Amino acid sequence: MDIASLTVETNFGAVDWCIVVAYLLAIVGIGVYIRRYVANVSDFIVAGRGLGTYLAVATMIGTELGLVTVMYSSQKGFTGGFAAFHIAFAAAIVTFIVGLTGFIVVPLRAMRVMTIPEFYEKRFGRDVRIFGGLILAFSGILNMGMFLKAGSLFVMGVTGLTSDYHLKVIMTALLSMVLLYTILGGMVSVVILDYIQFVVLSCGFLIAVAMSISHLGYGNIVEAVAQAKGAAGFNPFDGEGFGMSYVLWMFFMGLVSCAVWQTSVIRACSAESTTIVKKIFKLSSIGFLIRFLIPYFLGICAFVFILGDSQLKPYFLPEGGQADAQMSLLAMPVFLSKLLPSGLIGIVSAGMLAAFMSTHDSYLLCWSSVLTQDVVAPLFGNRLSSKTRLLLTRCFILLIGIFILVWGLWYPLGQDLWDYMAISGAMYSVGGFTLLAFGLYWKRASRVGAYLALITGFFAVAGLTPVQKSLPWIFEPIKAILGIEQISSAVVGIVVLVLANVLLVLGSILFPDSLRHKKSLKEFK
């Protein structure tokens, strides 16, 4: 049974459509209005570095608490049960430690860089910046490639619109609105809209959780998961569920999300001072926790709800098998559309769709500025004027928008969306983390070591299920030797991470930077 044959009766009515349209038009209007405050590239990309603590926290959480996060997290809750909470736990602990120690983010802010590849140039040279920038942009754009699919499934689940035609029209319209206000407004409008998203969505979430508990009963939720999933539904170390390697990988992903991923780092770089950077990360640890935790819980509630619904159960929880990735993504919106009354479902959907736009605008801005500042501008010897850079950034935003529209509708997911996100992001973040950690804290880290780590990190692509399926002559012998049925994305990620670190150290020891190269870096600084 697939999506096409699924009919969902939802509480989403005409009133809700009006709320959604009015809300979206209002936030686009605000974005366009704020354009008057954008004077230069710095205002466009890092809001003139004028973010106060609370606004920085709101915008950091607002960006990360997008519809896509809600969708992939609820899917993890649906498939993994309470054990999925360990991902939220890891994210919070790691973010708080980064806030306490200032690990990576404080020295980055002190260097006054706008992007991570800019750090590569200051530490390793211009060629490393261009190469690292290309990998970062490629990985980042691929990472956001599934956003549109997640968004479209949300619209499908909540509204009950099953026609493919309607869905494509809505998603194209949404993307057009995102492109409009991102191109016109830049970071100043992004931070203010993120703030609005943060407030609306957080309130919506808290109400949804309260209603879910009141409707299903907390004790019933726990017992239903225990009966259906056993110990694996609670214990993250249980081999039937996530297992040790997955938990370790999630701690690394927690560090990447807050300290290495460009959209988070750009917030640190936008802060008024290094003291505020630490404060932002300590406060945001609760946001990083909750952005996963509440959607996991809603996913668990969707699981329990569907378990007791004879009409939906065959679609989402077929006998003797698992639902495919698309169906488990659809579970939470279907549950919300049946739980929340008309009016409230409109507000929550508007918040979710606005969050979808908010995430898109932050990511579009982020990857387009990386392409402009870290790839094209250094190729021209940094002779591009501020106006040209602004124009280029806007052109890249448009091109990336077109790409994600095509990729989102075409790529066969084949695994949990979170695992796709983690592994596509790891193509950059494994190398990025290694370069940042060693580049900031180890004087001997060299250019050759940096190249080796970046290239090795790219091999994380092997964690994607379609890649493994399309290259059986590589992966089947490995599986046979190891005696396993499947190579999990967590194992691929950990192996690539260890290799990148080892190769950076070896490369730096065997091929240290020449005195001439070191001198040129000092001159640049």
Partner 1 sequence: MVFWKLFWSIFLFLSIAAFAVLLIVVAIGGFFNILTLLRTLAAEHQQENSQDEDKQ
Binding partner 1 by CB under 8 A: which of 25, 39, 406, 484? 39
CA–CA separation, 373 and 384 (whole Å): 10
88 binds partner 1 (CB under 8 A): yes
Size of the site for partner 1 (CB under 8 A): 48
191 binds partner 1 (CB under 8 A): yes
47 binds partner 1 (CB under 8 A): yes
Binding partner 1 by CB under 8 A: which of 17, 234, 459, 475? 234
290 binds partner 1 (CB under 8 A): yes
Binding partner 1 by CB under 8 A: which of 195, 281, 303, 433? 195
96 binds partner 1 (CB under 8 A): no
User: Which residues face 271 on adjacent strands?
Assistant: 51
Angle at 458 between CA 495 and CA 417, to 5 degrees: 80
- The three-state secondary structure class of 340 is coil
12 binds partner 1 (CB under 8 A): no
65 binds partner 1 (CB under 8 A): no
Nearer to partner 1, 200 or 256 (CB): 200
Paired tokens of 117: 């590849």
Q: What is the dihedral of CA 435, 440, 442, 447, to 10 degrees?
A: 40
Binding partner 1 by CB under 8 A: which of 286, 376, 395, 455? 286
355 binds partner 1 (CB under 8 A): no
CA–CA separation, 394 and 372 (whole Å): 9
Binding partner 1 by CB under 8 A: which of 134, 180, 184, 222? 222
Q: What is the DSSP letter of 260?
A: I
268 binds partner 1 (CB under 8 A): no
Binding partner 1 by CB under 8 A: which of 12, 20, 43, 445? 43
- Write the CB contacts of 519 (distance below 8 Å, at least 6 apart in sequence): none
- Residue that is written with structure tokens 């106060």 in the block: 52
Please give the C-alpha separations between residue 273 and each of 56, 111, 267, in angstroms, as whole numbers.
12, 11, 12
Q: How far is the CB of 409 from partner 1 (least distance, A)?
A: 34
Q: How far is the CB of 333 from partner 1 (least distance, A)?
A: 21
Judged on CB neighbours under 10 Å (0-12, 13-18, 19+), 385 is exposed
Q: How far is the CB of 86 from partner 1 (least distance, A)?
A: 9
Q: Are 256 and 433 in contact (CB under 8 A)?
A: yes
Nearer to partner 1, 228 or 402 (CB): 228
Judged on CB neighbours under 10 Å (0-12, 13-18, 19+), 230 is middle
Q: Are 493 and 463 in contact (CB under 8 A)?
A: yes
Nearer to partner 1, 307 or 376 (CB): 307
Single-letter amino acid, residue 483: G
Q: What character string, x for contact with partner 1 (CB under 8 A) and - otherwise, covers 293-332? A: xx--x-----------------------------------
Q: How far is the CB of 91 from partner 1 (least distance, A)?
A: 11
Q: Which stretch binds partner 1 (CB under 8 A): 35-43, 101-109, 396-404, 413-421?
A: 35-43
Judged on CB neighbours under 10 Å (0-12, 13-18, 19+), 209 is middle
Q: What is the dihedral of CA 194, 198, 204, 210, to 10 degrees?
A: 160
Interface residues toward partner 1, by CB under 8 A = 34, 36-37, 39, 43, 47-48, 50-58, 61, 82-83, 85, 88-89, 92, 188, 191-192, 195, 198-199, 202-203, 206, 209, 218, 222, 226, 230-231, 234-235, 283, 286-287, 289-290, 293-294, 297
